[in-house]
């Protein structure tokens, strides 16, 4: 189960990194309660991990886009 959770987290974060939009997270969030109700608490936990990974990937996309300019910026 741990390996499956890590694969879900990694895959979702890569998808968020590729998509780079918060709208994709808003489309994925309604699936969390559906997974929990229909498939059980483990699937609900995996859906929460996937949503967290997707949010982390979107945030990372924004960070990379902000700091990929040619001019150096002070942090």
Query: At residue 72, does pLDDT exceed 80?
Result: no
From the list 53, 13, 51, 44, the residue with the least C-alpha distance to 29 is: 51
Q: What is the C-alpha separation between 42 and 61, in angstroms, rounded?
A: 29
Residues 51-60 have a mean pLDDT of: 88
Residues 6+ apart with CB under 8 A from 3: none
pLDDT in tens, 2-50: 888 888 888 888 888 888 888 877 888 888 899 889 999 988 888 888 8
Looking at residue 38, what is its pLDDT? 92
Looking at residue 37, what is its pLDDT? 92
pLDDT confidence of 71, banded at 50, 70, 90? Answer: low
Angle at 44 between CA 48 and CA 30, to 5 degrees: 65
């Amino acid at each position: 189960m741990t390996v499956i959770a890590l694969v879900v987290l990694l895959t979702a974060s890569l998808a968020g990194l590729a998509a780079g939009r918060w709208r994709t997270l808003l489309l994925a969030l309604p699936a969390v309660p559906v997974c929990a109700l229909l498939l059980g608490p483990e699937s609900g936990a995996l859906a929460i991990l996937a949503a967290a990974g997707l949010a982390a990937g979107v945030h990372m996309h924004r960070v990379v886009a902000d700091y990929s300019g040619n001019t150096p910026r002070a942090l």
